[in-house]
Amino acid sequence: MKSAKLLSATALVAAASLTFSACSASDPSADEPVSLRMTVWTSNEGQLALFNEIADAYKAEHPEISSITFDPLDFDSYTTTLTTQLAGGNPPDMAWMLENSAPDFVSSGALVPLDDTLSATDGYELDDLSDAATKLWRNEDGQLAAYPFSTSPFVVFANDDLLAAAGQPTASELQASGKWNWDTVSDIGSKVNAATGKAGFIVRDFEYTQWDYLSTVWNGWGAAPWSEDGKTCTMNSPEMVDAFTFLHDAAFKNKSMPGPGTTADFFAGDAAFTVTQISRASLLAESGITSWELLPLPEGPDGEYSVIGQAGLGALAQGAHPEQAADFIAYFTNPENSAKLAKYFPPARTSQLTAETLSAANPVLTQAQLADVVVPAISTGQVRPSHTGSAEIQQEVRSGLDGLWVDNPDIAGTLDAVCDSVAPLLEQ
């Protein structure tokens, strides 16, 4: 028997849908107070304060809403905890969802379509939402099942202090010379490690477990884990073999990337470069790094590219108050509040994807950095890999890739074995 931890989001959401399909949430009477609960994965005091500020303003206009609670869940087990709540009969009214679990939630019918509510909200400007940003969150009928409240590009932060200490060019100098590519990053990173003992580059949150963060690298090789229709495994493609050969060489031969079991934090001064999302910029204030730079992802053999991470906000159909939840989402994500949330979460609104708007919300980053790096990345970036049955796929790929992180692995053979184990899951 599989443990609950390994059950897929598909199975759990389907179980929840079956459990509650015969039950429809009844609207409260005019005298009955409504309490709403939203699960989130942030415990950041500033973010929660902003959420509560928006909630308080909404409650002031809607006296029938007695409370709106933001319920932080642990990020690493967020989807498992959320889907377990659904299957266990304790669903939240609203929830954040990661992009890798989006297909499970969107296709299962667990979410209330939002189009009618958003369209009926005065001043909402539904047409302002970017088609690219909403694509992942639409069901097979084209309905918006969740609002993409965060569309955050992956970028590179560079520690020019550490580069200087190692006698290397600054990141801007590398970019100006036309050498901003993965080969150069690995070469410079190797020299930084040799001179200072610090790491060269880090793919933040990868840590040899969260393999899909490596899409920020392998997309530069034109690689993908599966075909566009999601039915065929392509983890063993020549492009993916080349990308993993680069990563293995970086970790084991060049020492430009920390190897398995080695912990390094760019924002603690432990690395010259890190691949991460722009929301991490807030960590720079306490990092001790006096000179840093923001750059796009390095060019790969397939040319320039960008990758974005997304999070969706949806109203759960099995929640106690789906209509009120959808209405609060409309308020939470209206143009005014979207601009406020942009301080932490890059918006899906085309009108707000400007350096001026983003700089007002992100004072750490300059308008030039936002205009040159962030806005283009949001506009053209590919979303991190996602698929139905994401929990099982994640586990299978993670286990299969363990065979790569040793000396002298058979990279092509290991990736063939990954596809052998994943292929049946892709066909489900």
What confidence score (pLDDT) does residue 390 get? Answer: 81
Spatial distance between the Cα atoms of 81 and 65, rounded to a whole number of angstroms = 26
Side chain identity, residue 59: K
8-152+308-383 belongs to CATH 3.90.110.10: no
Question: Tokens 């590219």 sit at which residue?
Answer: 305
What pLDDT sits at residue 381?
Answer: 83
Question: Half-sphere exposure of residue 354, counting CA atoms within 13 Å on the CB side?
Answer: 6
pLDDT at residue 19 in the model: 40
Residues with Cβ within 8 Å of residue 238, at least 6 apart in sequence? none
pLDDT at residue 46 tops 90: no
Question: The tokens of 417 are what?
Answer: 């074995």
Q: Give me the CATH code for the 154-307+385-426 domain, please.
A: 3.40.190.10
User: What does the mean pLDDT of the chain come to?
Assistant: 89
Q: What is the pLDDT of residues 238-270, one digit of tens each?
A: 999 999 999 999 999 999 999 999 989 999 999
Residue of 219 and 383 predicted with greater confidence: 219
Q: What is the mean pLDDT of residues 335-353?
A: 90
Query: What's residue 22's pLDDT?
Result: 36
Q: What is the value of pTM for the model shown?
A: 0.82
Least confident of 192-201, 212-221, 369-378, 410-419: 369-378
Distance CA 81, CA 78 (A): 5
Kindly list the domain boundaries of the chain, sorted by start residue: 8-152+308-383, 154-307+385-426
Query: What are the φ and ψ backbone dihedral angles of 121, each rounded to 5 degrees?
Result: -85, 120
**Mean pLDDT across 378-406:** 89
Whether the predicted pLDDT of 12 surpasses 50: no
Say which residues have a Cβ less than 8 Å from residue 198's Cβ, sequence separation at least 6: 162, 192, 264, 269, 270, 271, 272
Please determine, for residue 15, whether its predicted confidence score (pLDDT) is greater than 70: no
CA atoms within 13 A on the CB side of 103: 16
Structure tokens at 239: 């492009």
Q: For residue 5, what pLDDT band results from cuts at 50, 70 and 90?
A: very low
pLDDT at 376: 87
Residue range 78-82: mean pLDDT, rounded: 91
**CA-to-CA distance for 48 and 267, rounded, in angstroms?**
23
Does pLDDT of 25 surpass 60?
no
Could you tell me the sign of the dihedral formed by the alpha carbons of 411, 301, 233, 209, in that order? positive
Cβ atoms within 10 Å, residue 368: 11
Tell me whether domains 8-152+308-383 and 154-307+385-426 share a fold: yes
- Pick from 165-169, 189-193, 389-393, 401-405: least confident: 389-393
Tens of pLDDT along 288-319? Answer: 899 999 999 999 999 999 999 899 999 999 99
Per the model's pLDDT, the better-predicted residue between 176 and 381 turns out to be 176
Backbone angles phi, psi at 267, to 5 degrees: -80, 0
Mean pLDDT of 111-132: 95
Q: How sure is the predictor about 20, in pLDDT bands with cuts at 50, 70 and 90?
A: very low
Reading the block at residue 22, the tokens are 């015969």
Cβ(14)–Cβ(315) below 8 Å: no
Question: Is the pLDDT score of 11 beyond 70?
Answer: no
Say how far residue 101 (Cα) sits from the centre of its chain.
10
Asked whether residue 357 carries a pLDDT value surpassing 90, the answer given is no
Cα separation, 199 vs 259, in Å, equals: 10
- What is the mean pLDDT of the segment spanning 109-119? 95
Query: CA–CA distance from 305 to each of 103, 345, 346 (Å)?
Result: 24, 21, 19
Name every residue whose Cβ is closer than 8 Å to that of residue 403 and which is 6 or more positions away in sequence: 409, 410, 414, 417
Average pLDDT over residues 70-87: 91
CA 59 distance to own-chain centroid: 30
If you write DSSP's letter for every residue of 244-275 in order, what string do you get?
Answer: HHHHHIIIIIS--S--TT----GGGT-EEEEE
In DSSP terms, 98 is beta-bridged to 311
Highest average pLDDT, of 37-41, 360-364, 373-377, comes from: 37-41
Per-residue model confidence (pLDDT) at position 13: 52
Which residues 6+ apart lie within 8 Å of 242 measured at CB?
Answer: 221, 223, 301
Where does the pLDDT of residue 105 fall: very low under 50, low under 70, confident under 90, or very high at 90 and above?
very high
pLDDT of residue 1: 27
pLDDT band at 133 (very low <50, low <70, confident <90, very high): confident
Percent of the chain with pLDDT over 90: 68
CA 192 from chain centre, in angstroms, equals 29
Which of 79-83, 96-100, 341-345 is the least confident region?
Answer: 341-345
User: What is the predicted pLDDT for the residue at 389?
Assistant: 82
With a cut of 70, say whether residue 29 has pLDDT above it: no
Span 100-125, mean pLDDT? 94
* Distance in Å from the first CA to the final CA of the chain: 19
Q: What is the pLDDT of residue 268?
A: 94
